[in-house]
Amino acid sequence: LIDAGVVRGQTLTSWPAIKTDVKNAGGKWVNEEVVVDNGLVTSRKPDDIPAFNRKMIEEFCEGKHDAKKEMATATLET
């Protein structure tokens, strides 16, 4: 995500060892089981997979979000 340039301005979580990398890339790192920000779903570790999967299913059921389209367009333009 950092290399793809989608972290800047996003709130997300990750494996704690890359917390500083997320912050340096312009993201807001939080220590939570699963985080959703503009359709980007993140989690921290293998123990979080059940919560991550539940959230992914919820996001799929909600369908397409306008914010996702805007984020994808902005990413492609850079």
pLDDT of residue 70: 53
- Residue-level pLDDT, tens digit, the chain, 78 residues: 999 999 999 999 999 999 999 999 999 999 999 999 988 999 999 999 999 999 999 999 988 766 555 555 555 655
64 in a structural domain = yes
Q: What is the total count of domains within the chain? A: 1
4 in a structural domain = no
pLDDT of residue 63: 81
Contact 66, 72 (CB under 8 A): no
The domain in which residue 22 lies consists of 11-77
63 in a structural domain = yes
1 in a structural domain = no
pLDDT of residue 74: 54
pLDDT of residue 68: 52
